[in-house]
């Protein structure tokens, strides 16, 4: 698979670069630019551990919906000398765009892609059908890296646990199932579940692997020019 030169997801031209100031609450962050305070929506409900450093450069995009309470959305942050994508909608969008562009070997033969499809008590990010049969996929955003390992989640995630249980149940019923983990930073060489943050999720991850739920960790190529799909990462031996 060749990495595309053109990003699969672009950003508006009128994005703003500023400096991170603080996180007021889970969905509300403050930045500073030229001495003026700017507030933005943050759709990432995780801890963003290690990223929210005061003074770090950020990129925010203008809201697409007129009249929204917060006029900007936090897209990227650069606390370590490289950009990290924190928008949790990106993995879903990138999965779809990669399917359209035929860039993911795992889903090349599927001809129909349905987003946000209900299964049991959960709404999973993608349901694909085609000659190979049915495939359910949940997409997750990964921003935590320690010692070259990308970890998910970065906070206890009951929602993530719920999705894994649903995928395990579907796998037991004979469906093909997978979780697409998009690592939106460049400094990871492999991927694994974060036992030290959410041991229940880590146990479910191992159970899911044994049940046949596939894990697809991919690195994103992140820049202010957009986001492209990078290489697939191996899963660490600790799983």
C-beta neighbour count of 14 within 10 angstroms:
7
100-135 residue pLDDT tens: 999 999 999 999 999 988 877 778 999 999 999 999
The residue ranges of DSSP E strands in the chain, in sequence order, are 16-25, 28-33, 36-41, 57-62, 72-78, 84-85, 112-119, 122-130, 133-142, 144-146, 149-152, 176-183, 190-193, 214-223, 226-232
Tell me what pLDDT residue 94 has: 98
179-234 residue pLDDT tens: 999 999 999 999 999 999 999 999 999 999 999 999 999 999 999 999 999 999 99
May I ask the CATH architecture of the domain 16-85? Beta Barrel (2.40)
Rounded CA-CA distance 126/198 in Å is 24
220-234 residue pLDDT tens: 999 999 999 999 999
May I ask the CATH architecture of the domain 90-228? 3-Layer(aba) Sandwich (3.40)
What b/e readout covers 212-229, taking b as 16+ CB neighbours within 10 angstroms?
bbbbbbbbbbbbeeebbb
What ranges do the domains of the chain cover? 16-85, 90-228
pTM here? 0.94
Query: What sign has the CA pseudo-torsion 236, 239, 135, 91?
Result: negative
Please say if the pLDDT value at position 97 is more than 80: yes
């Amino acid at each position: 698979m060749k990495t595309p030169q053109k990003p699969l997801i672009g950003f508006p031209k009128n994005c703003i670069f500023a400096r991170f100031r603080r996180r007021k609450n889970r969905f509300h962050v403050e930045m500073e630019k030229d001495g003026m305070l700017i507030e933005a929506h943050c759709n990432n409900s995780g801890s963003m551990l290690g990223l929210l450093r005061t003074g770090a450069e950020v990129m925010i995009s203008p809201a697409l919906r007129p009249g929204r309470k917060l006029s900007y959305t936090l897209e990227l942050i650069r606390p370590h000398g490289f950009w990290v994508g924190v928008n949790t909608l990106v993995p879903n969008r990138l999965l779809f765009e990669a399917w359209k562009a035929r860039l993911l070997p795992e889903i090349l033969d599927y001809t129909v892609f349905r987003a946000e499809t209900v299964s049991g008590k959960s709404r999973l990010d993608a349901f694909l059908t085609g000659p190979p049969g049915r495939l359910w996929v949940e997409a997750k955003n990964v921003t935590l890296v320690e010692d070259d390992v990308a970890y998910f989640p970065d906070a206890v995630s009951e929602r993530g646990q719920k999705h894994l249980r649903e995928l395990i149940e579907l796998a037991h019923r004979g469906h093909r199932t997978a979780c697409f983990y998009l690592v939106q930073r460049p400094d990871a060489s492999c991927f694994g579940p974060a036992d030290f943050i959410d041991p229940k999720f880590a146990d479910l991850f191992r159970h899911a692997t044994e049940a046949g739920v596939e894990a697809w960790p991919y690195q994103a190529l992140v820049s202010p020019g957009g986001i492209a799909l990078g290489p697939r990462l191996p899963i660490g031996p600790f799983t």
